[in-house]
Structure 1
Amino acid sequence: MRLLLVILPLFAFILNIFGLMRMIPLYFTIPLLFATIYITVYSFQNKKQFKGFKKEWDRSIS
């Protein structure tokens, strides 16, 4: 999964280079590049987030 999150922004960056050369429309490549970078950064930051301690009565319910 992490490998895919590294490859997708690189692929979107290459598409954006093609867009800057006017081979692909920029209105397609720029949002794609932004979305892939956003998803990659969000997923790498969200992995090790502290979610708090479970209370004793929560353990008995689950």
Structure 2
Amino acid sequence: MSKLPLICMILFILIAFFLHILALMKIFPLLLSTPILFISLLIFIFYLNNRKRFKGF
């Protein structure tokens, strides 16, 4: 069950990347796709960073 958030985040990054590719082809607004891609990458890196942190005794 612990793999589910990781799979969801990777799927969210792929969708955001696809939207950004569409924005570069001027099919989707670039002002919407860029923050979505940035936020998805930021959440993914934040999740990977906090996963194995020592929380005390």
Cα shift readout 1:2-50 (whole Å, capped 9, x = no counterpart)? 1101111111001000000000010000000000000011011111101
Match of 1:12 in 2: 16
| Aligned partner letter, 1:37 | L
TM-score by length of 2: 0.87
State the shift of 1:51 in Å.
1.9
Query: Which consecutive residues of structure 2, in runs of 5 or more, have no partner in the other structure?
Result: none
Q: Distance in 1 between matches of 2:55 and 2:7?
A: 26
Aligned length: 53
Name the counterpart of 2:40: 36
Structure 1 moving runs of 4+ over 4 Å: none
Gaps of at least 5 residues in structure 1 are 54-62
Pair member with larger Rg: 1
- Identity percentage of aligned residues: 36
Deviation at 1:52, TM superposition (A): 2.3
